[in-house]
Every structure is written in C-alpha cells, then in structure tokens.
C-alpha cells in the first residue's frame, strides 16, 4: 500500500477480512508501528531549555532550606526499629 492510502480505506480493507485474518493484520500493523517508533531517534531537548530548567531550580533552592528539620529527622530516626543486622 502506498502512503497516500487513507485510514478509512485501510479500515475498510481490514473489515473485509475474516476475523482471524483481521487479528493477524492488526498484529502486523502494531509490530510495524512499534518498529517505526523505535527506529526514530528521540529528539534531545535543546541545551537552552535544560539551562532554563536548571536556573529555575537554582532559584527555588536559593530561597528554600534544603536540609531536613532536626525535629522531623529525630522523629523519623526514632520510628525505625533498632534491630540488629544479620
């Protein structure tokens, strides 16, 4: 089939097949589409986008405390059992 065949025409051709052949055809289509997707290179984000994200995160961390509250740390530590490691 050429690429110019419309989706409607493909659907009609599949619907004209017996049910078992419909399933076989659909499985072939799925395999083919998976191969196409895997073969396509994943577009990497541009460096400017990454830089913008890093700058925004840096602004957040400048304003926010990045360490755990000592009271919360002690509560978490006390909630852990003191079993011996084996």
Rg, C-alpha atoms of the chain: 28
26-40 confidence digits (pLDDT tens): 888 888 888 887 776
Global pTM value: 0.39
**53 burial class (0-12, 13-18, 19+ CB within 10 angstroms)?**
exposed
d(CA 12, CA 40): 29
Residue pair 11/25 in contact by the 8 Å Cβ criterion: no
47-66 confidence digits (pLDDT tens): 556 667 878 878 877 877 66
Tokens standing for residue 65: 């405390």
């Amino acid at each position: 089939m050429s690429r110019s065949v419309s989706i409607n025409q493909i659907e009609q051709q599949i619907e004209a097949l017996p049910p078992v052949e419909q399933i076989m055809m659909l499985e072939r289509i799925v395999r083919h589409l998976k191969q196409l997707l895997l073969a396509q290179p994943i577009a990497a984000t541009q460096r400017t986008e990454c830089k913008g994200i890093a700058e925004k995160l840096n602004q957040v961390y400048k304003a926010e405390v990045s360490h755990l509250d000592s009271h919360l740390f002690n509560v978490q530590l006390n909630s852990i059992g003191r079993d011996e490691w084996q």
